[in-house]
């Protein structure tokens, strides 16, 4: 049997009004699906010309079905992107490929709502020959009142549509603010230079697509548990660095101006004093910074229900006791004649750190039936 010729009646919505206003996904294949989509678009925006083009495509589809009963016809609508340019063209080509996979047409009848879409013909013809172009133009009255109504519609778009108002209102607004500031500052002679800079920046950002990239930029934030870790690390590092700086600054005050770096015997004799001053002045902030680091890890592991939370608890316990041991050690470095016995704070804090660590590990072992940080 002879294969029927297949013709696709294709309607194009280059700026994707059907998706933006009517929330209908594209491509749309079939007369009934296009009818429902066009009705949805007409309800969402009765003044939208794309709905008329879709209705025109359906009308043409029915006429061709009657006129050429030996041929097979299908009607479809593809959409581009409101960003325009290459992005819109690529999206329409991808959607056309989907339609042609479902309906392998031998020719296309292109239906548009104006002459602007004619630039798409070379792109479409690389896939399937275009046998005809059908324009659907909305008729307007010749009366002046309707001309003003149409003009007012597009004028309102400049004020109400954020995509257009950013340029139509934002740039003049910035220029007026700059000129007003220069007038108030008695610098009106520099207004021309300021206007040139602002317009140059706008043309540069818009011309190279930088503005659209900035507007459409959507940073990918890490999950909340990772955010807590990052913030804790930054804060902990800052606090610890301040503590180190405070300790070093205090220790440097004990260096006489006449001492040279080559006097090794003097430096060796003063090393215990420097170390003790550094610890006494900086250990609190250093310990706080390390504790913030471990607390951030504990919160993150708690949010993730991670058993490594136990490791953070043990680390916090040891951090506290290490601080106490360091302080007592610094005091002994300053006064080496201090007597050390079983009741000395240094011995007590050392034993306390060992005992509390053993208790915490034992409790965690009872809780998890194993050591969760091994």
Dump pLDDT digits (tens) for 287-336: 998 999 888 888 888 888 877 788 888 888 889 898 898 888 888 888 87
Phi/psi at 111 (5° precision): -115, 120
Q: Give residue 136's pLDDT.
A: 66
The count of other CB atoms within 10 Å of the CB of residue 26 is 20
**DSSP code of residue 190:** G
pLDDT band at 104 (very low <50, low <70, confident <90, very high): confident
Mean pLDDT, the chain, integer: 78
Output the pLDDT for position 142: 44
Q: How many whole angstroms separate alpha carbon 290 and alpha carbon 241? A: 10
pLDDT tens, position by position, 226-277: 888 888 888 989 999 998 998 888 888 877 666 666 666 766 777 788 888 8
The per-residue pLDDT for range 163-199, each reduced to its tens digit, is 667 677 777 778 788 778 778 777 777 777 777 877 8
Tokens found for residue 22: 């009517």
Above 60 in pLDDT, residue 117? no
What pLDDT was estimated at residue 141? Answer: 42
Cα(72)–Cα(64) distance, rounded to whole angstroms?
A: 9
């Amino acid at each position: 049997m002879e294969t029927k010729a297949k013709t696709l009646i294709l309607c194009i919505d280059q700026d994707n009004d059907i998706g933006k206003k009517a929330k209908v996904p594209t491509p749309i294949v079939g007369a009934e699906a296009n009818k429902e989509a066009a009705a949805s678009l007409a309800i969402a925006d009765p003044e939208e010309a794309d709905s008329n083009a879709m209705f025109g495509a359906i009308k043409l589809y029915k006429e061709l079905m009657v006129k050429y009963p030996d041929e097979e016809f299908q009607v479809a609508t593809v959409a581009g992107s409101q960003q325009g340019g290459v992005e819109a063209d690529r999206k329409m080509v991808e959607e056309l490929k989907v339609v042609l996979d479902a309906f392998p047409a031998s020719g296309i009848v292109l239906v548009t709502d104006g002459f602007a879409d004619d630039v798409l013909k070379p792109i479409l013809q690389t896939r399937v020959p275009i046998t005809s172009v059908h324009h659907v133009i909305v008729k307007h009255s010749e009366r002046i009142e309707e001309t003003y109504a149409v003009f007012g519609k597009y004028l309102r778009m400049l004020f109400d549509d954020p995509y257009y108002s950013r340029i139509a209102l934002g740039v003049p607004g910035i220029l007026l603010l700059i000129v007003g500031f220069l007038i108030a500052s008695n610098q009106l002679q520099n207004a021309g230079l300021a206007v040139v800079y602002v317009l140059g920046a706008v043309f540069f950002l818009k011309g190279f697509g930088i503005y659209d990239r900035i507007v459409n930029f959507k940073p990918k934030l890490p999950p909340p548990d990772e955010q807590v870790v990052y913030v804790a690390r930054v804060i902990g590092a800052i606090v610890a660095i301040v503590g180190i700086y405070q300790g070093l600054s205090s220790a440097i005050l004990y260096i006489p101006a006449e001492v040279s770096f080559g006097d090794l015997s003097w430096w060796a004799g003063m090393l215990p004093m420097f170390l003790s001053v550094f610890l006494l002045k900086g250990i609190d902030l250093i310990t706080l910074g390390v504790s913030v680091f471990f607390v951030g890890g504990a919160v993150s592991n708690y949010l993730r229900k991670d058993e490594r939370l136990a490791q953070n608890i043990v680390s916090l316990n040891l951090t506290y006791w290490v601080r106490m041991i360091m302080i007592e050690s610094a005091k002994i470095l300053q006064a080496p004649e201090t007597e050390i016995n079983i009741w000395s704070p240094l011995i007590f804090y050392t034993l306390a750190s060992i005992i509390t660590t053993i208790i915490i590990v034992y409790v965690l072992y009872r809780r998890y039936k194993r050591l969760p940080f091994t």
